[in-house]
């Protein structure tokens, strides 16, 4: 295998959680007398952590952000698995990857607790070596700190890691950590965003990741560095 490890983003990459996030935030906004948003609008709000999500959702009402955030945390915790499911092809991809000589990990900007709960509930048989969400003592993506920590935990060089995600945040994280950036088009963001922010490869189906991992993308990239 040309790579030693694969790090996955969670929301928009492994799982479609947009409805649960959007519905929980809309309920929090309504509880504080604020206007709600179409669920599709949340594609533009997610990816940078719950505080940024709340800031974007509350808009011109910054003084209500702490209260909305607190309400949202409770609502989302209760609705974490309401409609959230793995994307088509993801269970099969992970089932194949677990048989290969490659280590697996998850790195999300979702808070650490919900990240671990979702992964444990939806992928109980996948041997992820590390599952990290946003933690107060670690800088969130796109800072490379958490990604580099995972590489060190797995005992692999960052350049031997693939970072798979659906957003500019993920591509910037991969590039900052000097990992191979793979953008996925089935998530929350656009192909154009992935390309603009440094994707080394963009894939349209989970199966394409297997082709990439088994191919010579790594050597081609190394030859251009």
9 is catalytic: yes
Cis (ω within 30 of 0) for the bond into 78?
A: no
CA distance 3 to 101: 9
Token pair belonging to 113 = 């607790």
Average pLDDT over all residues of the chain: 94
Strands (E) in 62-126, as ranges, are 85-86, 103-111
pTM for the model: 0.92
Residue 223, pLDDT score = 37
The encoded tokens of residue 111 equal 């808070």
Mean pLDDT per block of 10 residues along the chain (225 residues) reads: 93 97 98 97 94 96 96 96 97 96 97 97 97 95 98 98 97 98 96 96 96 68 40
Helices (H) and strands (E) in the chain, counts: 10, 8
Question: In this structure, are residues 33 and 39 in contact, taking their beta carbons and an 8 Å threshold?
Answer: no
Reduce the DSSP state of residue 79 to 3 states and report it: coil
Active-site option among 9, 11, 16, 166: 9
List the beta bridge partners of residue 6.
104, 162
Q: Is the peptide bond before 142 cis (omega within 30 degrees of 0)?
A: yes
Task: Give the bridge partners for 180, in sequence order.
Answer: 162
Domains of the chain: 5-16+85-224 (3.40.50.1000), 18-78 (1.10.150)
Return the C-alpha torsion angle 110, 100, 90, 175, nearest 10. Answer: 50
């Amino acid at each position: 295998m040309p790579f030693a490890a694969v790090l996955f983003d969670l929301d928009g990459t492994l799982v479609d959680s947009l409805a649960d996030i959007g519905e929980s935030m809309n309920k929090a906004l309504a509880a504080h007398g604020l206007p709600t948003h179409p669920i599709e609008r949340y594609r533009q709000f997610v990816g940078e952590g719950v505080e940024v999500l709340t800031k974007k959702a509350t808009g011109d009402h910054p003084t209500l952000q702490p209260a909305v955030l607190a309400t949202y945390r409770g609502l989302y915790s209760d609705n974490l698995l309401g409609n959230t499911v793995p994307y088509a092809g993801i269970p099969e991809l992970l089932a194949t990857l677990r048989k290969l000589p490659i280590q697996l990990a998850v790195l999300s900007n979702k808070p650490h607790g919900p990240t671990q709960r979702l992964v444990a509930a939806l992928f109980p048989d996948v041997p992820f070596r590390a599952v990290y969400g946003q933690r107060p003592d670690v800088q969130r993506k796109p800072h490379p700190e958490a990604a580099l920590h995972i590489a060190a935990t797995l005992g692999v060089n960052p350049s031997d890691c693939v970072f798979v995600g659906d957003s500019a945040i993920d591509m910037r994280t991969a590039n900052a950590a000097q990992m191979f950036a793979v953008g996925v088009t089935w998530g929350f963001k656009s192909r154009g965003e992935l390309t603009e922010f440094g994707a080394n490869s963009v894939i349209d189906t989970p199966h394409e990741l297997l082709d990439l991992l088994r191919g010579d993308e790594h050597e081609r990239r190394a030859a251009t560095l």
